[in-house]
Amino acid sequence: MRAQEPALALALLLPVMASAQEGASVAVDEVVVTATSRPEERSHIAGTVQVVDEATIRRSTATSLTDLLAEQGIGFLSEWSPGQTSLNIRGGATDGQGRDYRSQVLVLVNGRRAGTANLSKLSPSEVARIEIVRGPASVVYGSQAMGGVINLILRDARNSPGGLLEGSGGSWGLAEGRARYGTTLGGVDVYAGLSGSRRDDYRVGGGARLDNTAYKHGGIAGAFGGEVGALGYLGFSARTDGIYDAGFRGSSWSPFNRDNRRNHSADLTLDGASSDGTLSWHLQAYAVRDQDSFRWNSPITRSSAGLPAPGTLLDRNDRTLDIIGTRLQPVVRPWTGAEWLLGLDLEYSTLRSDRFRIPAPGASSAQVPPYDNNQTDHNAGLYTELSQRLLDDRLTLRGGVRRTWGVTSFDSTPNLPLQRSRDADYDATTWSAGATFLPVPSVALRANVSTGFRAPTATDLAADFTAVGGGRTFGNPNLKPETSQQYEVGAALFRPGLRLDVALFQNTLSGRITTRLRPGVANTSDYINNPGDILVRGLEGQAELNFASWLGWTEWRWRGTANAAWNFDMQDRGAPATANRHEVERMYRWQAGLATTFGQGDQWDVTVQGILRGELFYNTEENLLVPTAEPSREYIHRKGAYGLVNLRGSVQVLPGTVPGLRAFGAINNILDRNYHALFIATEQQPYLSDPRFSNGGRGNSAPGREFVAGLRFTF
């Protein structure tokens, strides 16, 4: 890290930083819905919940949810490409390709499975609020919620009334536009939104152009709803979002690969309550289609002997995940202070993949199976949670249990002639228990213990795929489900203009499904259950402060937020004995997202934002020079910490004439830092890549200094 960056990060941390609502006080006891699937105050929830609110989303110039959450210190985000990311929260990780069905972090849209864990595919444009539950702290969710839950709450006419028109442009041909409007017509709430963006190849810190980093994005959403008598509020929403022609350099630094990634969904919900409040209900039916189309190639690959070999001129892999499901969640209040949630989840999904390759001259012309086996999955979850408030609502006790049953069918898969189709049953019991106590009205103490799981997929159980770069991976029919168990204690202080939260946790993941090189066979791996546990112990903190209210300012605003984590113990107890390190890979040791906002009323504001990302350990898939860049192909690298600084601001234009017109701008990565969140070989000399396998690329770096400017009109 450069010497000036820690000092800047520390300077940003001193006034701990931004806000829940512009011009309003910090919400002292904010209501959230994700942890228990019903509205509850954060002070009464036994687990840690982090919120990215509407004002934070509005102030950000992030073009993807990956960038937005990275600014907030949510967890490790790999930032593979403009259209692909993976993340890690409390040791639970998503797959590098964003495969929803292989994720240990559950990504939701309006409370149901999103169909993708690849946040770069999704735009922030139609997201009104994000709630993050850290760890497996809820029985409301089944398979995958081992490291946490990220719930994207979409815009509708109730949370986003009125209209917005916005356009912006910036460095490297960036062009963005969005429009939305929400209103009530004849008692029916109606909402529509539209967004789109594009960007050319960017330049890295120091000015070098990084080929194949361009993208295009487009999305549209609509919703309507209204009261239907005693049944409650009936709502329907539909949306599509995607990133297109997105460059994917990947671990081979490829200047050729392109992705198209799309996510579509429709939801029907019914929310109501009895007149006396003793019974309420939530019913949701949904359909999701998630599609990925990879147009990749690798003219030169690594052979089983570790030498260059002819590869492919085209390696196209298409996959479609279709999901239909329903959730029924009644809540009974049988006596004073008690809430009893009952839940039933039913879901059916199919995964279909195909692959076609054109070999390079001299390569084998044989086709190979796609990255993912075709599968059909049926699952059901039955769960209950009882909470009881005592001592004038100062003490809340809660406990819940969930039973999940499922069948994964290994279906006929292209180019896999020797496959043996079969059904694999799975079942799991997960539970949680916790308590919160308010010794005084402004202090909340909490503790919880909880468990989670993830069932193996057909790919885990029976894979036989060849990677673009030549490596081959086989499935394992004897895999067991992954499980996790978490212990957590925490405390929160909340007063007008102030909220502080701290949590100490231990999350243990057992039987993690991973790959291991096959002994004596080069370039070949097998899926296995990690023979030892993944153990993560950490300390997390959140802060929201309104300095202006403390100082009694009425015309001026000065606010701040901070989100930070220190994973002081990250053990991979199943790492091979020959490994040079035994820390958990692809997970930050420490990180922080910091910001401070200063302004005058609604006339103007300036936000300074700092992002600190700590050391990382990674056995990279890149073909690095040996021994110049690494002593061996199985060497686990340590990436040091680095920091970024962003500047954002906005000002009213013609306030007396057009009060809703606002100009905004940003300078991202002010220090023009050349960095990457994951890759070892960055675009700078001397090159660390092995030129024999580089196919023209020599490293990956994130964007350098970027300028953005635009106009926003609200009405």
Separation between Cα atoms, residue 505 and residue 565, nearest integer Å: 11
Give the predicted TM-score (pTM) of the model: 0.93
Separation between Cα atoms, residue 263 and residue 244, nearest integer Å: 12
| Among 494, 714, 605, CA closest to 43 | 494
Residue 337 Ramachandran class (φ > 0 left, ψ -120 to 50 alpha, else beta) = left
Separation between Cα atoms, residue 326 and residue 348, nearest integer Å: 9
Report the CATH number that the domain containing residue 84 is assigned in CATH. Answer: 2.40.170.20
Separation between Cα atoms, residue 114 and residue 118, nearest integer Å: 10
Separation between Cα atoms, residue 228 and residue 282, nearest integer Å: 14
How many domains does the chain fold into?
1
List, in order, residues 6 or more apart from 117 with CB less than 8 Å away: 86, 87, 94, 95, 98, 99, 100, 103, 105, 106, 107
The helix or strand, by DSSP H or E, that contains position 54, with its residue range, turns out to be helix 54-59
Per-residue pLDDT, 22: 40
Per-residue pLDDT, 116: 94
The helix or strand, by DSSP H or E, that contains position 69, with its residue range, turns out to be helix 65-71
Q: CA-based angle 188:191:193, to the nearest 5? A: 170
β-bridge mates for residue 379, sequence order: 347, 406
List, in order, residues 6 or more apart from 186 with CB less than 8 Å away: none
Quick: pLDDT tens for 108-121: 999 999 999 999 99
Per-residue pLDDT, 143: 85
Burial 471-502 (b: 16+ CB within 10 A, else e): bbbebbeebebbbbbbebebbbebeebbbbbb
Per-residue pLDDT, 173: 97
Per-residue pLDDT, 26: 61
Residue 87 Ramachandran class (φ > 0 left, ψ -120 to 50 alpha, else beta) = beta
Per-residue pLDDT, 28: 64
Q: Exposure of 394 by Cβ count < 10 A (0-12 exposed, 13-18 middle, 19+ buried)?
A: middle
Per-residue pLDDT, 396: 97
Per-residue pLDDT, 306: 82
**For the chain, what percentages of helix, strand and coil (3-state, to nearest 5) are there?**
10, 55, 40
List, in order, residues 6 or more apart from 705 with CB less than 8 Å away: 171, 205, 667, 668, 669, 670, 671, 672
Per-residue pLDDT, 235: 98
Residue range of the domain that includes 553: 4-714
Quick: pLDDT tens for 596-621: 999 999 899 999 999 999 899 999 98
Separation between Cα atoms, residue 67 and residue 56, nearest integer Å: 13
Which amino acid is located at 36 in the chain?
A: T
Separation between Cα atoms, residue 192 and residue 196, nearest integer Å: 14
Per-residue pLDDT, 100: 87
β-bridge mates for residue 443, sequence order: 440, 493
Residues in the chain where the model's pLDDT stays below 70: 1-28
